[in-house]
């Protein structure tokens, strides 16, 4: 049976133009989609992003950076976010963000950005989506305290994290905190913590030559055996098997 890489190469080399997904994402109105080059300039956008930026045509966004199409101060923060990803290659996963549009509308969304690499592994751009959790101007929960706590989890996943402490940071009871996490991610807080740590582990196993024991500690596990048990339960392979299978 042919490998995934062979199947993909067999299909994509037959295409008349590179596949970007632009036409597909143009059909969706509950998310924005974009591809940017190494300078953080828009190269591909969907219609919904154009509309939310108060523009009529895609060409009004193409070649511009985030701070040129989004109002301050969020536009500057989006550009800084892009520049950090393009410099480090570290993806942005499940980041809760407040979108502010030229019309003055606001809406909460979940943003994911991934690096695009050339054949030598160098970062040459990024691709991302921001999916609505709350439609612009819809009256709903204020997610800002939760967003700060989720950012804390994303940057401190290697440390001991207690749900009660996280809830306290958000000014919520553990029950309220877990309810909001379930509403956004459709998983429990414990599962979300596990997912963040597993995402980091998978990334390090693919991209880093570090020993598995070191990766286990970096991802918040007390020892390699505990990490291996959790990894096998989640991924279906041991960390070493995963590393061999992915050719890392």
Domain boundaries along the sequence of the chain:
11-132, 144-245
Distance in angstroms (rounded) separating the CA atoms of residues 230 and 215: 13
Q: State the pLDDT at residue 246.
A: 73
Q: State the pLDDT at residue 84.
A: 95
pTM greater than 0.75 (yes/no): no
Min mean pLDDT across 44-58, 70-84, 128-142 is at: 128-142
Q: Residue 197's Cα: distance from chain center in Å?
A: 14
What average pLDDT score do residues 211-230 get?
93
Q: State the pLDDT at residue 138.
A: 54
pLDDT at residue 72 is higher than 90:
no
- Can you tell me which residue has the tokens 């976010």? 81
pLDDT in tens, 138-194: 555 677 888 889 989 989 999 999 999 999 999 999 999 999 898 888 889 998 998
The domain 144-245 is placed in CATH, from the list 3.30.1180.10, 3.90.1150.200, 1.10.10.60, 1.10.275.10, at 1.10.10.60
Nearest CA to 199 out of 78, 67, 93, 57 is that of: 93
Nearest CA to 186 out of 133, 235, 149 is that of: 133
Contact between 1 and 9 under an 8 Å Cβ cutoff? The reply is: no
Q: What CATH class does 11-132 carry?
A: alpha beta
Give residue 213's region: left, alpha or beta (phi > 0; psi -120 to 50).
alpha
pLDDT at residue 231 is higher than 80:
yes
* Band of residue 248 on the pLDDT scale cut at 50, 70, 90: low
Distances (CA, A) of 123 to 13, 87, 129, 137, 223: 22, 8, 18, 36, 33
Q: State the pLDDT at residue 175.
A: 94
């Amino acid at each position: 049976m042919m490998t995934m890489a062979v199947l993909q190469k067999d299909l994509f080399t037959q295409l008349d133009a590179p596949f970007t997904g632009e036409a597909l994402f143009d059909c969706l109105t509950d998310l924005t989609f974009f591809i940017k080059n190494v300078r953080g300039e828009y190269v591909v956008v969907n219609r919904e992003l154009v509309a939310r930026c108060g523009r009529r045509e895609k060409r009004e966004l193409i070649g511009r950076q985030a701070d040129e199409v989004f109002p301050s101060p969020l536009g500057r923060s989006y550009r800084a976010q892009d520049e950090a990803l393009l410099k480090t290659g570290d993806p942005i996963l499940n980041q809760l963000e407040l979108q502010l549009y030229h019309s003055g509308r606001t809406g909460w969304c979940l943003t994911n950005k991934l690096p695009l690499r050339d054949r030598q592994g160098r970062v040459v751009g990024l691709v991302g989506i921001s999916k609505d959790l709350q439609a612009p101007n819809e009256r709903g929960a204020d997610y800002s305290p939760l967003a700060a706590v989720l950012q804390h989890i994303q940057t401190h996943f290697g440390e001991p994290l207690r749900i009660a402490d996280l809830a306290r940071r958000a000014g919520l009871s553990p029950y309220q905190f877990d309810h909001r996490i379930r509403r956004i991610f459709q998983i429990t807080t414990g599962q979300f913590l596990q997912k963040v740590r597993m995402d980091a582990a998978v990334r390090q196993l693919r991209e880093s030559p570090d020993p598995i024991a070191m990766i286990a500690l970096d991802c918040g596990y007390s020892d390699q055996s505990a990490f291996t048990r959790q990894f096998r339960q989640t991924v279906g392979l041991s960390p070493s098997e995963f590393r061999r299978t992915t050719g890392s």
